[in-house]
A and B are shown apart, each in its own frame.
Chain A
Amino acid sequence: MRGVQLSLNKGQNLRLERALDKLESLSSKANSDASVTVADDISVNYEDAILKGHGTTELDGRVVATLCGVVERVNKLVYVRALRARYKPEIGDIIVGRVIEVAPKRWRLEINFSQDAVLMLSSMNLPDGIQRRRTAIDELNMRSIFEENDVICAEVRGFQHDGCLHLQARSQKYGKLKTGQLLTVPPYIVKKRKQHFHYLDQYGIDLILGCNGFIWVGEHVEVRDDMVEDQINKSDQENLNSGNTLSSNEVEEEAYTPLDTRQHMCRIANAIRVLSTLGFMITVELIMEILNLSKSLNLDIHEMLGGEFHVLVAEKEAERRSSLTKKR
């Protein structure tokens, strides 16, 4: 159990156990014997032709698991879905990563995979938004786009012939992430969906649930397609630049994040931390629910990480899941 570091008193411990028991009883009907550990036999019908997928191997004609996880069957395919493991990239996944090296024509990113990912200069849009061949000058100016330790959002492009993982960032929604915080959670609790970018408009916050378990909570930035808007804005900007030179003070003013937004960022971040220590699935709806719960209880931001709130979240989740099953 990963939540053991919580300091709970006797009553809270009991309540947490009860909530978890409830969760267990809710899920046990669906798949009771699907969990396997390393070297467990997987029962299959040997008369049917089967395909052995990830996490399985053959031993004396039997199918044996090589991972701890849950057995999944899709038609003929039998595979083991690992729970706690590093991120396994799939093409098209939206991920958040950190630049660790600026190399010739490429950036190397840490994305919680077994290797570093590569983002080529040629597979991302230039800041001016013009489509053209990347020149040596572009290469020299790479640090003006991303530097070491920058946090970046990108999409998985695929594996190259040599086995490297390549990323791409060909849209304005991808790119450098500023003014916010990065959280790391185990990748298996991030639910894969159509939408991983979320704009919480009532708080002015952007939430990016990276499939690799890196979650970004940051101030909302207006996504604009440079290619279309630049022509319009260019003339305005030129006027601005010639007319009144922006004093450095004003630039700083612009970069200032209001206290309210920052507090909300921390609140959301703590909601995600609570979900991750309890090992619950992370979705926007759930995050918002916990955020509202903490607000309705008038809890301070730091109190969200205390034992009592964890117990409350567990109880609430048990209630929510049981109401879901009742509806069905």
Chain B
Amino acid sequence: MEYVNPEGLRLDGRRPMEMRQLRAEIGVVSKADGSAVFEMGNTKVIAAVYGPREVFIERVQNRSQQMNDQALVRCEYSMANFSTGDRMRKPKGDRRSTEISLVIRQTMEACILTHLMPRSQIDIFVQVLQADGGTRSACINAATLALADAGIPMRDLVTSCSAGFLNGTPLLDLNYVEDSAGGPDVTVGILPKLDKVTLLQMDAKLAMDTFENVMQLATEGCKAVATYIREILLEHTKQLEFRRGL
């Protein structure tokens, strides 16, 4: 199948290096400490953060897991039944969602200053409302926004974006059709300020030099997401401050 036509346009009319439209909204769950909705094109993800709060002993399987000098970060990823074209009826806790929960947890744990909140836990819940490829990235971006909204101290914002390689062209921010083409899909998560990579996933083979190009492209995408997220957060903070008044 032709994923990039001779004019250099993709199936949804984007250029190879073009991202889908981003949209973010903060404060969508009123009872949560922090929450956000993040959209990348037709992919829509909601994230809610609770905490830092007291550790629930009964929930922690192993008591030694309750660390005395830093916060415990938990993450739960789920997909709404209506998020995909064919309504899925999978039981909760299948392999895919367990894996993504783990990935998100590890990525967020790397940037949260857990040592500032000893003997507490932070719960991150992310749910995919509409799936159109790149859910992993969208979840990480939504979780970052929600954590920042909850006032949890972080080293840096984590942003994520994916890139692929189809028809001999590196493509930024794959959608569902491109994702299911079976080509390589590189998901990258970076700390934009520190200029470090915290997440790198690829489930296919790719030549060394093309991989570098694809990763470079994904990193550029992450930086674009970071600029957008920063804008949204600053706007939100200003809004809260002036509404509060003196």
B122 to chain A, nearest CB (A): 9
A38 at the interface (CB under 8 A from B): yes
The answer to whether A66 touches B155, judged by C-beta atoms less than 8 angstroms apart, is yes
A115 at the interface (CB under 8 A from B): yes
The answer to whether A163 touches B153, judged by C-beta atoms less than 8 angstroms apart, is no
- 9-residue interface stretch from A83-91, A144-152, A196-204, A215-223: A83-91
A85 and B241 in contact (CB under 8 A), knowing A115-B120, A116-B54? no
- 9-residue interface stretch from A24-32, A133-141, A240-248, A258-266: A24-32
Chain A residue at smallest Cβ distance from B230: A37
Q: How far is the CA of A156 from the CA of B118 in the complex (A)?
A: 19
Chain B residues lying within 8 Å of A30, measured Cβ to Cβ, are: 246
Q: How far is the CA of A278 from the CA of B240 in the complex (A)?
A: 9
- 9-residue interface stretch from A44-52, A67-75, A170-178, A300-308: A67-75
A295 at the interface (CB under 8 A from B): no
A76 at the interface (CB under 8 A from B): no
Q: How many interface residues does A have (CB within 8 Å)?
A: 46
B138 to chain A, nearest CB (A): 19
The answer to whether A20 touches B243, judged by C-beta atoms less than 8 angstroms apart, is yes
The answer to whether A86 touches B149, judged by C-beta atoms less than 8 angstroms apart, is no
The answer to whether B234 touches A35, judged by C-beta atoms less than 8 angstroms apart, is yes
Q: How far is the CA of A67 from the CA of B111 in the complex (A)?
A: 12
A27 and B234 in contact (CB under 8 A), knowing A38-B148, A59-B193? no
Residues 29-40 of chain B, each 1 if its beta carbon lies under 8 Å from chain A, else 0: 010011000000
Q: How far is the CA of A67 from the CA of B150 in the complex (A)?
A: 9
Chain B residues lying within 8 Å of A83, measured Cβ to Cβ, are: 151, 237, 240-241, 244
Q: How far is the CA of A64 from the CA of B244 in the complex (A)?
A: 24
Q: How far is the CA of A59 from the CA of B156 in the complex (A)?
A: 11
Chain B residues lying within 8 Å of A280, measured Cβ to Cβ, are: 243-245
Chain B residue at smallest Cβ distance from A81: B241
B117 at the interface (CB under 8 A from A): yes
Other-chain residue from B117, B148, B194 in contact with A59 (beta carbon distance below 8 A): B194
B183 at the interface (CB under 8 A from A): no
A39 at the interface (CB under 8 A from B): yes
The answer to whether A188 touches B237, judged by C-beta atoms less than 8 angstroms apart, is no
The answer to whether B148 touches A37, judged by C-beta atoms less than 8 angstroms apart, is yes
B41 at the interface (CB under 8 A from A): no
Other-chain residue from A24, A35, A64, A69 in contact with B151 (beta carbon distance below 8 A): A69
A321 at the interface (CB under 8 A from B): yes
Residues 216-246 of chain B, each 1 if its beta carbon lies under 8 Å from chain A, else 0: 0000000000000010011011111111111
The answer to whether B113 touches A66, judged by C-beta atoms less than 8 angstroms apart, is yes
B72 to chain A, nearest CB (A): 11
Residues 47-73 of chain B, each 1 if its beta carbon lies under 8 Å from chain A, else 0: 000011110000000000000000100
Chain A residues lying within 8 Å of B245, measured Cβ to Cβ, are: 23, 27, 280-281, 317, 321
The answer to whether B240 touches A279, judged by C-beta atoms less than 8 angstroms apart, is yes
Chain B residues lying within 8 Å of A317, measured Cβ to Cβ, are: 245
A129 to chain B, nearest CB (A): 32
Other-chain residue from B117, B150, B237 in contact with A35 (beta carbon distance below 8 A): B237
A228 at the interface (CB under 8 A from B): no
Which of A59, A66, A82, A163 counts the most chain B CB atoms within 10 A? A66
Chain A: residues with CB nearer than 8 A to chain B? 1-2, 4-5, 20, 23-24, 26-28, 30-31, 34-40, 55, 57, 59, 64, 66-70, 82-86, 110, 114-116, 163, 188-189, 278-281, 317, 321
- The 5 A-B pairs of least Cβ separation, nearest first, read A85-B151, A114-B52, A114-B120, A279-B243, A39-B193
List 18 other contacts, CB 8 Å, given A66-B154, A279-B244: A1-B239, A20-B243, A27-B241, A31-B241, A34-B241, A37-B230, A39-B154, A66-B153, A69-B151, A70-B237, A83-B244, A86-B51, A114-B52, A114-B53, A115-B53, A115-B120, A188-B244, A281-B246
